[in-house]
Structure 1
C-alpha cells in the first residue's frame, strides 16, 4: 500500500499553521474544485485520491487534516501559508508536499498566479472522518 502511494504520487502535501488563542471564525474557501479519482478503505483507514483545482485568486480557507496528506503540484504555483503568520512556502509544478496529522498548525492554500493550480492529493485518514476541518482565521 505504501509503495502504491509513493509510486502513484511523487510526494506529499503538508499545509500547517498554529491556531491563536483569540476568538476567530473559520474562513470559507473560494475558487476551489475537488474531484474524487478513487478511494478505498483498508482496516481503519480511508485512502482517497482527489484532483484539486484552485483558480487564480482562489483559496482553500484555513483548515487542518486529521490524517496524512500527500500532494503533488501538477500545474501552477501553490502558495501555502501557515497560521503562525510567518511561514509562507511556494510549491511549483512538479514539487510535492506532505502534512502529518500530528501537525498542530492550520494552513491555507492559495493561487496567487494567473493560471490554475492543479494538485493530485492522497489522504490517509481515519475511517469515516472528514478529510479536513475548518480552522479559525489567525488574522494574518
Structure 2
C-alpha cells in the first residue's frame, strides 16, 4: 500500500510538471549598479530618486516598470531598445527621457560606448512595487 501511495504521488508530480506551462527566462542585467539617493511615499505612490551606472558593454536586461520613470543622462550614451526589436533611441549626456509603465512596455538599456553611463532616474511607482520587473528577451538578436 505504501509503495502504491508513493507511486501515485510521484506520478501526480510528474503530470503536474508536464501540465505547467514553460516560462521564458528573464535576461539579467550586467555591469549595472544603482544607489538610491532618496525615497518618499505620498499616499499610494513611491517617489524614488536613484543614480544608475552602466559600465561599457553592460546592459539592464529586458524589463518593464509598474510606474513611470523620468531619466536624465549625466554622462555617457544610452542605447534604449523597445520589444519590437526595431525602435532604438540613443540618449547622450544632457538628454532626458520618460519610460512609460506597463508589461507591454518591455525594453532594454545598453552601453555600447567606451565610457560609463550615469543616469539620474525618478521612479514614480505604486507603493511597494519593485524598481523593475524582469522580462524575457522578446526575440531580438541583441542582449
TM-score range, shorter chain: 0.7 to 0.9
Q: Structure 1 stretches of 5 or more lacking a match?
A: 1-22
Moved over 6 A (4+): none
Equivalent pairs, count: 119
CA distance in 1, matches of 2:102, 2:85: 19
Taking the TM superposition and a 5 Å limit, the aligned residue runs for 1:13-52 are: 24-52=24-52
Instruction: Name the counterpart of 2:138.
Output: 138
Structure 1 length-normalised TM: 0.81
Q: Larger Cα Rg: Structure 1 or Structure 2?
A: 2
What is the CA RMSD across the aligned residues, in angstroms?
Answer: 1.4
Instruction: Give the drift of 1:103.
Output: 7.0
Structure 2 length-normalised TM: 0.80
Greater fraction helix: 2
Taking the TM superposition and a 5 Å limit, the aligned residue runs for 1:48-87 are: 48-87=48-87
Aligned-partner SS, 2:73: strand
Instruction: Give the drift of 1:24.
Output: 3.1
Instruction: Give the drift of 1:40.
Output: 0.7
